[in-house]
Amino acid sequence: MPLFGELGMNEVATMLGESGRTFPAFSPALALDKMFVRGLKPVEWLVPTQDTAWLSDPLPYMARLRVDA
């Protein structure tokens, strides 16, 4: 996404080499959700458990971040 790159922002899942697929929860097909950061370093992609997948179409998009020094 060029606009975010121009602002110095990076997409978390991409930086971690993950797909970032959260929709639909039972069988992700598209990466609809995005998390962009600037000044933070993604450390880990956190995968929600599948036993809660039926509660919503998109699973939570979760990542552990570290402040860049």
- Residue 19's identity, in one-letter code, is S
Torsion of CA 56, 47, 14, 22, to 10 degrees: -10
Question: Given this model, what pLDDT does residue 31 score?
Answer: 65
Which pLDDT value is given to residue 45? 87
What is the domain partition of the chain in residue ranges? 2-67
Over residues 20-65, the pLDDT tens digits come to 777 666 666 666 778 899 999 999 988 777 776 676 667 777 889 9
* pTM summary value: 0.69
Cβ-based neighbour number of residue 17 at 10 Å: 8
State mean pLDDT over 9-13.
91
Predicted local distance difference test score (pLDDT) of residue 55: 65
Which residues share a beta bridge with 46? 62
The number of angstroms, rounded, from the C-alpha of 19 to the middle of its chain's C-alpha atoms is 8
What is the rounded CA–CA span in Å between residue 21 and residue 6?
24
pLDDT recorded at residue 58:
72
